[in-house]
Amino acid sequence: MKKYTFDAKNGLWYEQCGEYQLPCLTVPNSKMIGRWGQHHRRYLRQHKYGTYTALLLMTAAHLW
């Protein structure tokens, strides 16, 4: 039996582990943020928690 299979319905690769097929998931690369970006994120997290949470839930493109 094949070790890896591709499912065209959802576009994922699966690895055969015994009787189970586990998805081959990867973590997306994140960009490093600079010193002032880290300070701004810390300020939002400590003083503007509602804004921080809203940005975090909107795919976090603004915070990472």
pLDDT of 62: 57
Show the DSSP H helices in the chain as ranges: 35-47, 49-57
Confidence (pTM): 0.48
pLDDT of 61: 58
Contact criterion met (CB below 8 Å) for 13 and 24: yes
Q: Where are the domains of the chain?
A: 1-28, 31-64
pLDDT digits (tens, 9 = 90+) for 4-62: 889 889 889 999 998 999 999 887 777 788 999 899 999 999 999 999 888 888 865 55
